[in-house]
Amino acid sequence: MSSQTASKLFSPIDLAGRTFANRIVVSPMCQYSAENGIATDWHLMHLGMLANSGASLLILEATAVEAAGRITPGDLGLYNDENEAALARVLTSVRRYGNAQLGIQIAHAGRKASSQRPWEGGRALRPDQDPWTTYAPSAIPFAEDWHTPQAFAARDFERVRNAFVATAQRAVRLGFDAAELHGAHGYLLHAFLSPLSNQRTDGYGGGFEGRTRFPLEVFDAVRAVWPTDRPLGFRLSASDWIEGGWTIEESVALAKILKQRGCDFIDASSGGIALGAKIPLTPGYQVPFAAQIRREAEIPVMAVGLIVDPKQAERIVAEGEADFVALARALLDEPHWGWRAARELGGEIAYPPQYARAAPELWPGHKFQEESSVMD
């Protein structure tokens, strides 16, 4: 690639001493297609497709640390030997044929657990749908007609913290290249951070220090077992978008603390703590959060949220707003988005050998595609 066409989006970057070929990340996307937490052939097909999307890192969907931490009955889990064995089978094939490095998002759904799959309504499970007990910092339902969660008791802190650690250890055994803790979208760790969901009066509630205490305990415990040569990050909802909720200023402050404790990156999302938040769904609407965290906390960040166009992604990285761009539905819509981005931006990607003959220098159809696009 000549210097004249050099693309920042397709430049390599090191995290925790591990090199990623470009700045494109497949964001975690729940598939709701597991069986008792066990990965299925759907995961093999889904991940196999995205492992050749052109992204340098593919992060698996939110993966529950215990059965009660699943969002839905179809959530992926990594809390027992069956879960681990099934995921090992999937990962073996994905690694054999895919080009992306693999990450995992370690999660607990908290008060948003025990819900229906989105295509089944997305509400709390009805009594006839085998609901389970949910847990949260305070006994405050996520929304009207949702389960009232059980407020964390002393035994729950140790149990859930140990569950995060056990899942992280399983992920290490499975050879994941990176991991992030899910502290966003209203799930358990975020519920501790936000004053809208955390109204405890003990040392785990109240001001910023109390509300961040348990998420930091979880991070420290996972950091202790996660290898230092594999990136470990934290996904934040940088703002609740609701007055009186968690703020971008608090996100910056937490990111600074996480960095001091060995966090390698922040995945900056937003929202999800409650229904009714007014969120402006415009292209790149969350990128300013990533940029502010990167600038003020001086930590590598991933930007997410309606990043669709390759030139938009290039600008985000080139202008220093983020170190990575993480795409979700854009890659479901166009699984080889990275291939198109490389063509448009003058970048280079690794094609699987079975598809190499579709590369621009080998397939004349690209010329006709470009001519058709100009004529349109």
Q: What are the pLDDT digits (tens) for 222-276?
A: 999 999 999 999 999 999 999 999 999 999 999 999 999 999 999 999 999 999 8
State yes or no: is 187 an active-site residue: yes
Q: State mean pLDDT over 16-36.
A: 97
199 SS3 class = coil
DSSP 100-140: SEEEEEEE--GGG-SB--GGGTSSBPPGGG-----EESSS-
DSSP 337-372: HHHHHHHHHT------GGGGGGSTTT-THHHHHHHH
CB atoms within 10 A of CB 173: 10
pLDDT score of 301 more than 90: yes
End-to-end CA, the chain: 29
At 4, the amino acid letter reads Q
Domains of the chain: 3-375 (3.20.20.70)
pLDDT at 4: 46
pLDDT at 3: 41
158-164 contacts, C-beta under 8 A, 24 or more apart: 159/66, 160/65, 160/66, 160/69, 160/108, 160/135, 160/188, 160/218, 161/214, 161/217, 161/218, 161/221, 162/221, 163/65, 163/66, 163/69, 163/79, 163/108, 164/65, 164/106, 164/108, 164/218, 164/221, 164/222
Q: What percent of the chain has pLDDT over 70?
A: 96
pLDDT at 204: 98
At 205, the amino acid letter reads G
At 122, the amino acid letter reads G
pLDDT score of 1 more than 50: no
pLDDT score of 117 more than 70: yes
Residue 76 phi, psi (nearest 5): -70, 140
Active site residue: 32, 79, 135, 187, which one?
187
Identify whether the C-beta of residue 255 lies closer than 8 Å to the C-beta of residue 183: no
- pTM, entire model: 0.95
pLDDT in tens, 122-161: 999 999 999 999 999 999 999 999 999 999 999 999 999 9
Q: How confident is the model at residue 373 (pLDDT cuts 50, 70, 90)?
A: low
pLDDT in tens, 102-116: 999 999 999 999 999
Q: How big is the chain by its Cα radius of gyration, in Å?
A: 21
What crossing angle do the helices spanning 41-50 and 81-97 adopt, rounded to 10°? 40
Q: How confident is the model at residue 371 (pLDDT cuts 50, 70, 90)?
A: low
Residue with tokens 């405890």: 200
What residues have CB less than 8 Å from 323, skipping those under 6 apart? 13, 23, 265, 294, 300, 301, 302, 317
Q: What percent of the chain has pLDDT over 90?
A: 89
Q: How confident is the model at residue 5 (pLDDT cuts 50, 70, 90)?
A: low
As a whole number, the mean pLDDT across the chain is: 94
pLDDT score of 374 more than 60: no
User: How buried is 10 (Cβ within 10 angstroms: 0-12 exposed, 13-18 middle, 19+ buried)?
Assistant: buried
Residue 279 phi, psi (nearest 5): -115, 125
Structure tokens at 170: 């399983």
pLDDT at 356: 83
Structure-model confidence comparison of residues 57 and 354, the more confident one: 57
